[in-house]
Amino acid sequence: MAKCCSNEIKEIKKDLKNVLKILINNNKSIKELINDCNDENIKKTKKQLNKHSISELSQTLDKNILKAISCEETRKKDINKLVSYLKATSEIVKIALNTRIVVNKLENSCSILEDKSIKKFSAGIYSQIIKILENSYDIIEFDNDDDISDTYNEIILLEDKIDNIYDSINRYIISKNDTSLDVEKILTALRESEKVANRAAGIASIIRYPYTDKK
């Protein structure tokens, strides 16, 4: 087996963080789109999402992770971390897909976001999603059990906030008795947004696991 050094593992961590940073920026673009939804900003957001191929970046990352796992110098502790990174890249690819679906659903349905309450609720969901992604990014960097646990607990609270906002927007739309296609699209977009939040929290849980598994 090929030998490797700790620097390669550090590079993998760095690359994983870089991919997550792209996801954070993509979701920030969606929040901006929600606050000012029009054809020009739809194109701008799609351009942002097309800047990088998350799938290709993740495939390259997977190859480097598998290479590092196979190194005879890699310690068991590091192998557990590397396996968690490998699982995380799978969730990252799914998040990228969900993000694209959200933008596609918003296309040609900007008029629904002229409703100030729907815009407020939708932007609120994305504020929490961005925080979850940023906290997942931080967890990759942390090496202290307490810091990781505290940040993960904050992510759980943020997930609860998203659930509450989603319930609020559902109640609001029901009260309006609006069954238009635009309403259906925004609800579909927000359901995809929930998946982004759940998978982002899942990344944090995956990265955290080697620190909680003391066996």
What's the pLDDT tens digit per position in 117-132?
A: 999 999 999 999 999 9
- Distance between CA 123 and CA 45 in Å, rounded? 15
Average pLDDT in the chain:
88
Residue 119, both tokens: 């815009």
What is the percent of the chain with per-residue pLDDT over 90, rounded to a whole number?
A: 59
What is the percent of the chain with per-residue pLDDT over 70, rounded to a whole number?
A: 93
Q: Is the pLDDT of residue 210 over 80?
A: no
Q: Which residues, including other chains, have CB under 8 Å from residue 95's CB and lie 6 or more apart?
A: 23, 195, 196, 199, 200
More confident residue, 31 or 184: 31
Q: Is the pLDDT of residue 111 over 60?
A: yes
pLDDT band at 181; cut points 50, 70, 90: low
Q: Is the pLDDT of residue 91 over 50?
A: yes
Q: Is the pLDDT of residue 51 over 60?
A: yes
Question: CA–CA distance from 107 to each of 50, 113, 174, 176 (Å)?
Answer: 16, 11, 23, 22
Alpha-carbon radius of gyration of the chain: 19
Confidence at residue 141, expressed as pLDDT on a 0 to 100 scale: 85
Question: CA–CA distance from 153 to each of 139, 148, 190 (Å)?
Answer: 11, 9, 23
Confidence at residue 7, expressed as pLDDT on a 0 to 100 scale: 78
pLDDT band at 200; cut points 50, 70, 90: very high
Q: What is the pLDDT of residues 1-14, one digit of tens each?
A: 444 557 788 899 99
Confidence at residue 2, expressed as pLDDT on a 0 to 100 scale: 44
- Distance between CA 88 and CA 63 in Å, rounded? 14
Confidence at residue 4, expressed as pLDDT on a 0 to 100 scale: 52
Q: HEC states along 89-147?
A: HHHHHHHHHHHHHHHHHHCCCHHHHHCHHHHHHHHHHHHHHHHHHHHHHHHHHCCCHHH
**Token pair 């673009």 is at which residue?**
29
